[in-house]
Amino acid sequence: MALAGSLVALPGTALAFSVGDSWDWQLTGPADLDRSVKVMALHPDLVSDNDLAKLREKGVRTICYVSVGTLERTAPDRAAFPREVIGNTYEDWSDERFLDIRRLTILQPLMAARFETCKNMGFDAIEADNMDVHDNDSGFPITARHTIAYVRLLAATAEGMGLKIAQKNVPDLTEDLVDTFDFAISESCFQDRSCKAYTAYSDAGKPIFNAEYTDRPIHFSRACEIAKKYGISMILKDRALTAPALWCPERN
């Protein structure tokens, strides 16, 4: 494997993320960590502390998946969530239920504990998934304003731990969040015609990582042209985010 870079840092110190960084994204195992990329976004259940230490030695920056807007049936900390903050089942993911993100005093310490687990494993950053509770039938009267308040609190929590954190999707909130978050992770921005909505990040010198999906029609070479135009690091993945991936040509 070609080394992904020579960038190194002391354990516990988050590595920086840069516009144009190549990346891969794996949330369903088995994981393949033998990738010539500069960034890997991973589900923490797929890797060990030793795996992350080896990636760090190669200069690979790592992002830890954490759902901040839903509670998974299999979450090891599920019992810590009071019943009153658990809402409707997520239509697209039947093993998840939405959280009442208005309940900041309840959810912040629970998410802080999850972030701390990521930090202790050796991750550099947080992928805060399911920020878009306000756009779904959560069972709660949640607005975009509630989302902004919640995720800004989470960003401050991550920053206090020395972790970077991503805006995940919610392109409509980019202008409200770009000054707070370190980078963006988006899904299907080409297929959904929303790539331009994230460009405040690249304009600010912050990377945008995007995955298009193989279960939807796509002209990937055209998608890569859009990615180059807007400074987006783009990959093509299956919906489950297993190991196989296709990268745009001339990636860094």
> Where does 20-105 show beta strands of DSSP type E?
23-26, 39-42, 61-67, 70-72, 86-90, 93-99
pLDDT at 71: 98
pLDDT at 149: 98
Q: Let me know the angle formed at the C-alpha of 209 by 204 and 215, rounded to the nearest 5 degrees.
A: 145
pLDDT at 8 exceeding the cut of 50: no
Structure tokens at 141: 């009267």
Q: How far is the C-alpha of 18 from the C-alpha of 21, rounded, in Å?
A: 6
pLDDT band at 250 (very low <50, low <70, confident <90, very high): low
Same domain, 138 and 72: yes
- Per residue in 130-174, pLDDT (tens digit) is 999 999 999 999 999 999 999 999 999 999 999 999 999 999 999
Same domain, 72 and 158: yes
Residues in the chain: 252
Alpha helices in 142-236 (DSSP H): 144-160, 174-177, 199-203, 220-230
Q: Is residue 12 part of a domain?
A: no
Q: Is residue 88 part of a domain?
A: yes
Domain count, the chain: 2
Buried b (16+ CB within 10 A) or exposed e, 165-192: bbbbbbbebbebbbeebbbbbbbbbbee
Pairing of strands 86-90, 125-129: unpaired
Same domain, 146 and 188: no
Same domain, 205 and 129: no
pLDDT at 92: 85
Q: How far is the C-alpha of 217 from the C-alpha of 205, rounded, in Å?
A: 31
Q: Looking at 163, 194, 211, which one is the last position of a domain?
A: 163
Q: Looking at 163, 197, 219, which one is the last position of a domain?
A: 163
Tokens 């208005």 — which residue? Answer: 102
Residue 244 sits in which domain range?
182-252
Structure tokens at 113: 């504990």
Same domain, 249 and 159: no
